[in-house]
């Protein structure tokens, strides 16, 4: 991916401009200094989420209920977690720590009918859940809920707010 981006003239020229502006004018610029600066890279939005395509006949269904009460159902593969599924489908789940169980921005409220089918949360998840806004009896962190055959048909609701830095949560 980096090789592709570095071929893009627009991105290269922005990076080079940044590299030049990061060095004070009083210093002599030599070519070694410029080549040791790290370049920016990125991935296309459709590559985020890391979800797998379910094999034919092995699709599992999961339904997300948005803050507005809208239901969205997806066919997913076993092994994918709810954070990745939500992000791959552009749902409003931030996942600030990238799924490393170090925030509570992937908080979901699990339909009680399915709650006992999910393995118990570990201590790290419980610690983070304590920080979640609007904690309920069936709250879980989306990044820790992995789809299995037992969870086929799972329904989860997104909480009205999460504790994060998105200003839209406060409007």
- The encoded tokens of residue 121 equal 């949360």
**Max CA-CA distance within the chain?**
67
Q: Which stretch binds ligand FES (CB under 6 A): 22-30, 52-60, 98-106, 159-167?
A: 98-106
Interface residue with ligand FES among 86, 106, 118, 157 (CB under 6 A) is: 106
Please tell me whether residue 141 binds ligand FES under the rule CB under 6 A.
yes
Single out the residue of 96, 135, 146, 161 in contact with ligand FES (rule: CB under 6 A).
96
Instruction: Tell me which residue has tokens 């998840």.
Output: 125
Contact with ligand FES (CB under 6 A) among 82, 85, 103, 118: 103
Outline where 23-110 has alpha helix (H): 31-36, 82-88
By beta-carbon proximity to ligand FES, the closer residue of 95 and 159 is 95
Give the footprint of ligand FES on residues 49-88 (CB under 6 A): 83
Interface with ligand FES, residue 118, by CB under 6 A: no
Is the CA virtual torsion 117, 121, 122, 124 positive or negative?
Answer: positive
Q: Do residues 114 and 154 touch, judged by C-beta distance below 8 A?
A: yes
Q: Say whether residue 105 binds ligand FES (CB under 6 A).
A: yes
Alpha helix locations (H) across the chain? 2-7, 9-21, 31-36, 82-88, 112-115, 123-129
Give contact residues for ligand FES (rule: CB under 6 A).
Answer: 83, 95-97, 99, 101-103, 105-106, 128, 141, 143
């Amino acid at each position: 991916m980096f090789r592709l981006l570095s071929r893009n003239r627009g991105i290269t020229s922005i990076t080079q401009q940044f590299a030049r502006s990061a060095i004070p004018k009083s210093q002599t610029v030599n070519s070694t200094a410029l080549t040791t600066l790290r370049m920016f890279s990125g991935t296309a939005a459709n590559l985020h989420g890391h979800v797998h395509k379910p094999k034919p006949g092995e699709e599992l269904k999961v339904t997300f209920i948005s803050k507005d009460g809208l239901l969205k159902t997806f066919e997913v593969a076993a092994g994918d977690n709810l954070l990745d599924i939500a992000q791959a489908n552009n749902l409003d789940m931030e996942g600030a720590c990238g799924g490393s169980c170090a925030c509570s921005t992937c908080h979901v409220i699990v339909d009680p009918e399915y709650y006992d089918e999910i393995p118990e949360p570990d201590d790290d998840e419980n610690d983070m859940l304590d920080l979640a806004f609007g904690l309920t009896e069936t709250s879980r962190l989306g990044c820790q809920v992995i789809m299995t055959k037992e969870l086929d048909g799972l329904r989860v609701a997104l909480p009205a707010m999460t504790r994060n830095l998105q200003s839209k949560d406060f409007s």
